Amino acid sequence: VTVRVVQNFYAVTALSWKPDGSKLCVGGMTGSVDVYDACVRRHKYKGKFEFTYVSKSAVIVKELKSGKRIVLKSVYGYEIDRINIYKDRYLIARTTETLLMGDLESCHLSEIPWQGDGNEKFIFDNESVCIVYWAGEMTLVAYGRNEVLGVCRTEHVHPTLLSVMAIQKMVSDGRSPPENRTVLARLAYLIDPQTIRIMGLLTNGTLATINHDTRIDWLERTTLLNFAGYVQWVPQSDVVVAQSRDNLCVWYSINTPDRVSMFPIKGELMDIERNNNRTEVIVDEGINTVSYALDEQLIEALTLIQASITCSAGFGAAMGEQNFERAVRVLEPLELTPETEAQWMELSELALASNQVVIAERCYAALGDITRTRFLHKVVKKAQRAAAEHGGDGYDSYAVRAQLAMLAKQWPAAEALLVAQGKVDECIAMYQDAYKYGLPAHAGSHEQADLGGFLALWEDALRVADQCKHPEAEALRGQYYKWLIQTGQEEKAGLVKEREGDYLGAIALYLTGGLPARAAQ
């Protein structure tokens, strides 16, 4: 504590701290105004940055060249021990219990509980996500969120063997301040040198597993076309145009690279022109210059879909909703082709992530996915009833949130919502009825209903019944055992008998299932 004695200052008539706590402004009775530097300590970092410690848990980081400032503060109040800056942009700070990370460009900060030993490896190839690798485990954190986005184990952590996609937007429910929320996040990494796993970070589920017969050296590089003499983005859109020998290739949705439109041409592709709601590809055929018109409706639909992602809260949220509606209106008159199907799928995913359930229902209807369409129709009706009873839009109702979590395969979240409201029967029914809606709890790469997924559903239902001491738990266990016998899963049925202490029954089932070694144990 420092005491400053000011002669003849007399009474203090005004006192104010700077919001970041670095300076104190004092007004005196005689009209004087004094400003005091109140930092604990200050030092420079590599001659490019200045760290001003205003308290043990708060540091102002200032870039000397541009004057940019960011306040690095532990939300838990822990003392900040050490700060490093990577690539002149990314902040990493440590406390005794947490790890802080930030982006000087976006001014987004994150803090997560952490018990590392200081030997972590950080990867900053993605502008939205920080990757921390320690003790064989890879942790992903989205800047601006004080929680872990995803965790996985791998030995292959070179930046060329990782691919992360995270889409963030400002979201508000109208009652609380808008917050930066990740609406779509996926990770591709190597399980072993020849196997790629694609993981949905929000659902913590495997979206696909891809096996190769050779060693994978580069994950980001995707060969879309051979003999490419020209490649370019269509101005102000995510549409890609390329030429391969005598073929003009157009990707109206780059997220589905297998959906490509190809047209034969004669000559060399020169340029792409877009004006007056018309997009043309200019081809030099030697004597003449010929233009080929692209599908402007598909380009406009993709532009609207992308615009919906970047809209923020308030007026931006309303604009985002309008973009969804306009995208639907653009796509509805078009014939269902591989290109339009890819855009309907992308629009449905973004609509669900933005809570635009009616839009998502229309997307699945256009795709002919009757199962999800009926499911979402029931969700909309349930939200309307909740809105009539409690006000609002109804989508903050626990029942609606639980069903949306089911559709996103966030089963633990749906279970927590139902059990917290005492809806144990509904929670058990959720696991039993998932396959009726084509929503397998533990889906594979093609999300097909199989015995393994059905078995996991039964086990989850039994676990909930046991944890909540449901009166029908034993009857449910009997149904489970009967189903195991009917589906020829003698090993699992034997395990049930073994847990109940019926060892003779378990031995008989193991022998029936052709497992003499298990029976002998």
Tokens 């034993």 — which residue? 474
**Helix 338-353 vs helix 357-367: angle between axes, to the nearest 10 degrees?**
160
Tokens 């653009």 — which residue? 330
Would you put residue 190 in left (φ > 0), alpha (ψ -120 to 50) or beta?
beta
Tokens, residue 126: 């993605």
Most distant CA atoms of the chain, gap in Å: 99
Phi (first) and psi of residue 53, to 5 degrees: -85, 105
Query: ∠ CA 112-118-123 to the nearest 5 degrees?
Result: 65
Whole-angstrom distance, CA of residue 157 vs CA of residue 131: 9
Beta-strand pair 278-284/289-293? antiparallel
| Amino acid letter, 269 | L
Whole-angstrom distance, CA of residue 73 vs CA of residue 57: 6
Burial (0-12, 13-18, 19+ Cβ within 10 Å), 344: buried
Q: Are 137 and 178 within 8 A, CB to CB?
A: no
Whole-angstrom distance, CA of residue 187 vs CA of residue 283: 38
- Domain ranges for the chain, please list them: 75-171+181-211, 230-294
How long is the chain?
A: 521
pLDDT per residue, tens digit, the chain (521 aa), is 677 788 888 889 999 988 877 788 999 888 889 998 888 888 899 999 999 988 888 999 999 988 888 899 999 889 998 899 999 999 999 998 999 999 998 889 999 999 888 889 999 988 889 999 998 899 999 998 888 888 888 988 888 888 888 876 655 555 555 566 666 788 999 999 889 998 888 777 788 888 888 888 877 666 788 888 888 888 878 889 999 989 999 988 877 777 888 989 988 999 999 888 889 999 998 888 899 999 888 888 777 776 655 543 333 344 355 678 888 888 888 888 888 888 888 888 888 877 889 999 999 999 998 888 999 999 999 999 988 888 888 888 888 888 888 887 777 888 888 888 888 888 888 887 775 555 444 433 333 334 555 667 777 888 888 888 888 888 887 787 777 777 777 777 777 777 777 778 777 877 777 777 777 76
| Cβ-proximal residues to 322 (8 Å cutoff; 6+ apart), any chain | none
Write out the DSSP string of 155-218: S---GGG-EEEEEEEEE--SSS--EEEEEEEEEEEEEETTEEEEEETTTTEEEEEEE-SS----
Q: According to the 3-state scheme, what is the secondary structure of 356-380?
A: CHHHHHHHHHHHCCHHHHHHHHHHH
Tokens, residue 414: 């749906």
Tokens 């005196």 — which residue? 28
Q: Can you list the pairs that 271-278 forms with residues at least 24 positions away whose Cβ atoms lie under 8 Å?
A: 272/232, 272/234, 272/235, 272/241, 274/234, 274/235, 274/236
Q: Are 348 and 341 within 8 A, CB to CB?
A: no
Task: Centre a 10 Å sphere on the Cβ of residue 228 and count the other Cβ atoms it contains.
Answer: 13
The pLDDT, as a whole number, for residue 95 is 92
Whole-angstrom distance, CA of residue 490 vs CA of residue 514: 9
Strand partners, 167: 184
Q: Which CATH class is domain 75-171+181-211?
A: mainly beta
Of 169, 205, 208, give the one whose Cα is nearest residue 305.
169
Whole-angstrom distance, CA of residue 141 vs CA of residue 154: 17
Whole-angstrom distance, CA of residue 277 vs CA of residue 219: 37
Phi (first) and psi of residue 289, to 5 degrees: -115, 120
Write out the DSSP string of 376-434: HHHHHHHHHHHHHHH-S-STTSHHHHHHHHHHTT-HHHHHHHHHHTT-HHHHHHHHHHG
Tokens, residue 360: 């998502």
Tokens, residue 300: 């406009």
| Cβ-proximal residues to 237 (8 Å cutoff; 6+ apart), any chain | 299, 302, 303, 306
